[in-house]
């Protein structure tokens, strides 16, 4: 595999079991994702890496470039929101899942995937035990 760079700094922890980095409001305790850059009010916090599917759709046409940086040869992809328990509901593309498999409430986990040949980003994939 060639050299890849992360889509942005400070979004996720690169580990065998990756996790996203949110921002916790120092006074209210409310959590947002991503952690607001340069905000004195928020401190970075590693988010639960597993959660449940909150809502979803399928992107059936290639989004316009710019801003989309995915491959020219477009393949429809699922995306949606996953509720990370007790923390925040995060939007991301889904990977490794058939469209007819998607159900609100299903268990999902954080993964890192290539966006194109050069850039790595985060996504959610179904939890597959065993």
Partner 1 sequence: MADVFIVGIGIHPFGRTEGRSGLHQGAFAIRQALDDAGLAWRDMQFGFGGSDSAGNADTVVNEMGLTGLPIINVRNGCATGGSSLIGAWQAIASGQYDVGVAFGFDKHPRGAFNAMPAEYSLPDWYGEAGMMVTTQFFAMKLQRYMAQHGISHAALGRVAQKAFDNGVHAPHAWRRSPVDLDTILSSQMISDPLTKYMFCSPAEGGVALILASEKKARAMGRAAIRIRAAVTRTRPPGSFEVFSPSLSVERGGAPTLLASAAAFEMAGIGPEDIAVAQLQDTESGAEIMHMAENGFCRDGEQEQWLAEGWSRIDGRLPINTDGGCLACGEPIGASGLRQVYENVVQLRGAGGGRQVPGDPRVGYTHVYGAPGISGVTILER
Tokens 């401190």 belong to which residue? 43
Tokens 């194109």 belong to which residue? 116
The secondary structure of residue 48, as a DSSP letter, is P
Exposed/middle/buried for 120, CB within 10 Å: 0-12, 13-18, 19+?
middle
Count of CB atoms within 10 A of residue 20's CB? 24
Q: Which is nearer to partner 1, 15 or 69 (CB)?
A: 69
Return the residue of 41, 43, 91, 96 that touches partner 1, per CB under 8 A.
91
Site residues for partner 1, 39-68, by CB under 8 A, read: 54-61, 63-64, 66-68
Cα 87-27-92 angle, rounded to 5 deg: 30
Binding mask 2-41 for partner 1 (x = CB under 8 A): -----xx--x----------x-------xxxxx--x----
Q: Which is nearer to partner 1, 16 or 86 (CB)?
A: 86
Binding site for partner 1 (CB under 8 A): 7-8, 11, 22, 30-34, 37, 54-61, 63-64, 66-70, 77, 79-81, 83, 86-93, 99, 104, 115, 119, 121
């Amino acid at each position: 595999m060639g050299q890849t760079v992360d889509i942005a700094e400070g979004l996720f922890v690169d580990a065998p079991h990756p996790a996203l980095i949110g921002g916790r409001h120092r006074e209210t305790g409310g959590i947002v994702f991503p952690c607001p850059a340069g905000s004195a009010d928020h401190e970075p916090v590693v988010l639960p890496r597993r959660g449940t599917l909150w809502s979803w759709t399928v992107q059936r046409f290639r989004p316009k470039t710019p801003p989309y940086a995915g491959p020219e040869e477009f393949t429809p992809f699922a995306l949606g929101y996953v509720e990370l328990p007790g923390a925040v509901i995060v939007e991301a593309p889904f990977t490794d899942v058939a469209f007819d498999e998607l159900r609100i409430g299903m268990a999902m986990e954080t993964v890192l995937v290539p966006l194109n040949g050069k850039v790595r980003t985060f996504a959610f994939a179904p939890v597959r035990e065993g």
